[in-house]
A and B are shown apart, each in its own frame.
Chain A
Amino acid sequence: NAGVMQNPRHLVRRRGQEARLRCSPMKGHSHVYWYRQLPEEGLKFMVYLQKENIIDESGMPKERFSAEFPKEGPSILRIQQVVRGDSAAYFCASSPPFGGNEQFFGPGTRLTVL
Chain B
Amino acid sequence: DAKTTQPNSMESNEEEPVHLPCNHSTISGTDYIHWYRQLPSQGPEYVIHGLTSNVNNRMASLAIAEDRKSSTLILHRATLRDAAVYYCILRDVTTSGTYKYIFGTGTRLKVLA
Contact = CB atoms under 8 A, between A and B. Distances in A.
B99 A42 contact: no
Nearest to A45: B100
Interface stretch (B14-22, B23-31, B63-71, B90-98): B90-98
B42 A107 contact: yes
Interface in A17-42: 31, 33, 35, 41-42
Contacts of B11: none
Given A41-B105, A42-B87, A42-B105, A56 B46 contact: no
A interface bracket (residues with beta carbon within 8 Å of B): 20 to 34
A45 B42 contact: no
Given A42-B2, A91-B43, A108-B43, A102 B101 contact: no
Given A42-B2, A42-B106, A105 B100 contact: no
Interface in B76-94: 87, 91, 94
B interface bracket (residues with beta carbon within 8 Å of A): 20 to 34
Given A43-B101, A45-B102, A56 B94 contact: yes
Contacts of B106: 42
Contacts of A12: none
A103 to B, nearest CB: 7
B48 to A, nearest CB: 10
B101 A103 contact: yes
A105 B45 contact: yes
**Lowest 10 A-B CB distances belong to which pairs?**
A105-B43, A42-B103, A56-B98, A43-B103, A99-B99, A45-B100, A48-B98, A105-B44, A102-B46, A42-B105
